[in-house]
Each structure stands twice: as structure tokens, then as C-alpha cells.
């Protein structure tokens, strides 16, 4: 849990965001599944429509996290703005043992300042100047990266 108060961040909206692209730009791109799932290829739109690839602003109380080193000393504070849900349907499109982990692929996307994989299906994303559709586009690009399969 967070133990810091946060500023009054408000999710940006288009055209005030800094997103290099938005999820609608990627709707027709096809994401291949990972063996052993052998599912038919799925478009970004279809995956988004399942609800298993979605993004929401984090509640204010969860936006800042104290960072500790192995000795337990405080080394800083990480700030996140978004929670990315990569549910059961999305799990079929990346492999935990792949060359590149999904969070590392997401971290490489333009506009993404940081990622923390909080739980099996939950990633916290630091992207304060991106809108929800832009963060979702970055997540789709991460899934489209062949190194995550």
C-alpha cells in the first residue's frame, strides 16, 4: 500500500496528452497467441473488447510507493498514474519465460516512465502525460512485440 499523499494529477485527455499513438490507431493489428494456447490470432480491438486489456487511472491513495533496498532502507518514491489490467485473455499472448518480459517491453514504449508488475494481471504504469487510450496503445505495442512470446 502507498504511504504517501499525492499531488492533484488529473488524467490528460486528447489533444492535451503527449501520446505517440492511441489504441484506435492499432485496432486492426493482429496479436499472435503463445503456445500451448494455440488460439487464433486476435486483433487489438478484439482483445480490448474482452476487457482483459484495459487501463484505468489509479486511485490517488495508490499512486506513490516507497522504495526500499534489500536492507530495508528507503531509497526513494515511485509514482504511478495508471493501472493496466492484463487478464486471462491477454495471458495467451505473452510468455512469462520469453526473451523479454511484458513489463520490460511496456517500459520501452515512448511516454512510459516506469512499470511495476504488482500482481499476475495487474501492472502499475507511470505515464503522467499520456491519456488512457495512449497507455492502452503502449500496452498493445508491448503485446505485439515478438520478444514477449
* Cα torsion angle, 18, 20, 22, 25, sign: positive
pLDDT in tens, the chain (149 residues): 444 444 689 999 999 999 999 999 999 999 988 877 778 889 999 999 999 999 999 998 888 877 767 887 877 777 899 999 999 888 889 998 999 999 999 999 999 999 999 988 999 999 999 999 999 999 999 999 999 98
> How many Å apart are CA 128 and CA 64, to the nearest integer?
12
> How many Å apart are CA 87 and CA 40, to the nearest integer?
17
pTM, entire model: 0.87
What's the pLDDT score for residue 7?
A: 63
Q: Per-domain residue ranges for the chain?
A: 23-148
Amino acid at each position: 500500500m502507498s504511504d504517501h499523499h499525492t499531488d492533484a494529477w488529473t488524467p490528460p485527455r486528447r489533444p492535451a496528452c503527449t501520446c505517440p499513438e492511441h489504441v484506435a490507431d492499432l485496432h486492426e493489428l493482429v496479436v499472435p497467441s503463445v503456445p500451448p494456447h494455440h488460439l487464433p490470432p486476435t486483433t487489438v480491438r478484439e482483445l480490448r473488447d474482452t476487457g482483459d486489456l484495459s487501463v484505468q487511472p489509479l486511485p490517488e491513495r495508490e499512486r506513490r510507493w516507497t522504495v526500499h533496498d534489500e536492507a530495508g532502507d528507503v531509497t526513494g518514491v515511485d509514482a504511478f498514474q495508471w493501472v493496466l489490467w492484463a487478464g486471462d485473455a491477454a495471458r495467451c499472448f505473452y510468455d512469462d519465460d520469453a526473451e523479454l518480459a511484458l513489463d520490460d517491453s511496456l517500459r520501452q514504449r515512448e511516454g512510459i516512465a516506469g512499470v511495476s508488475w504488482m500482481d499476475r494481471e495487474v501492472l502499475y504504469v507511470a505515464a503522467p502525460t499520456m491519456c488512457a487510450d495512449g497507455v492502452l496503445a503502449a500496452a498493445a505495442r508491448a503485446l505485439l512485440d515478438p520478444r514477449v512470446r
